[in-house]
Amino acid sequence: MQFRLPAYGTIVAFNDWIYLDSFEWDAVNATQITFRGISLGTETEKADVTFSVKNANLTVTQLSSIKQFIGTLNGLTNTFAELSVTHSLYQSMPSMVTVGGVVYSPLQSKQDFDRHNGNCWYYDPNTKTVYVKALLQSPVLVSIYWVTAPAESGGGSGGIIWLPTAPSAETPSVSVPTPPSLAASPEIVKFGLFVIVLAGVAALVAKEAQERAKLSYKFKTAFKPAKVTKKDWSKARKKKWWG
């Protein structure tokens, strides 16, 4: 399901089923949307989350699990996209924010954020809102962490403090249980053939025993043997002396 922000012509979407109590836009020409009591996919925690996104469409892949938000921004190349997230479960400054897998230190004010010509982020303690700016070169992954950040590696230009391996931007796959293979091993095949042959032999023996039991009185009277021999049996079968 997709939710449009008419003021910016952008879309907020989710990569899995969402469960929510309600949602609302801030105006008819909406600049932001609020989801109340929302959870994504298999997440168990419900939260009130407000999104606003400019110059890009947002696809949310993780909403609240393990104190992380993860989303992908898609828009025109070399365009600055701006995302804001207000999360009711996390009412403090994030411990870490990554843009395209790169960690940036926060700017000091919203004015600095608005003027900054590059990837950056800012946390507003009054509204509990995280603002993120990203230069689009391709779909850009944005991650917000409210957990302990990794130790700084000495800083660097542009506010980069750490370069972790970027999380995959692909949609998480769903693992489908594979049915047991119908292909049998050579040992199973051999055992099956043995059972089939054994069953065939048993059927023939049972049939012959049944035919022997059907010897007619005519055959018994004609030969009156103390014991029916194989030769007698063969002769009886040829003359069909049984009932």
Average pLDDT for runs of 10 along the chain of length 243: 94 96 96 97 95 97 94 96 97 96 96 96 97 95 82 38 38 36 45 55 61 51 54 62 47
CB neighbours (10 Å) of residue 217?
A: 10
Domain ranges in the chain are: 2-162, 186-239
The pLDDT value given to residue 138: 85
DSSP-assigned states of every residue in 118-169: SSEEEEETTTTEEEEEEEESSSEEEEEE-SPPPPP-S--GGGEEE-PPPPP-
Tokens 């047991």, residue? 180
Beta strands in the chain, from DSSP E residues, in sequence order: 2-5, 10-14, 18-19, 22-25, 33-40, 47-54, 57-62, 68-74, 79-87, 96-99, 102-104, 120-124, 129-136, 140-145, 160-162
CATH 3.40.1620 fits 2-162, yes or no: no
The pLDDT value given to residue 164: 37
CB neighbours (10 Å) of residue 161?
A: 17
**Token duo for residue 230:** 């194989």
The one-character DSSP state at 65 is: G
Give residue 226's region: left, alpha or beta (phi > 0; psi -120 to 50): alpha
Tokens 């230190």, residue? 105
In angstroms, what CA-CA distances link 139 with 81, 136, 156?
Answer: 11, 7, 24
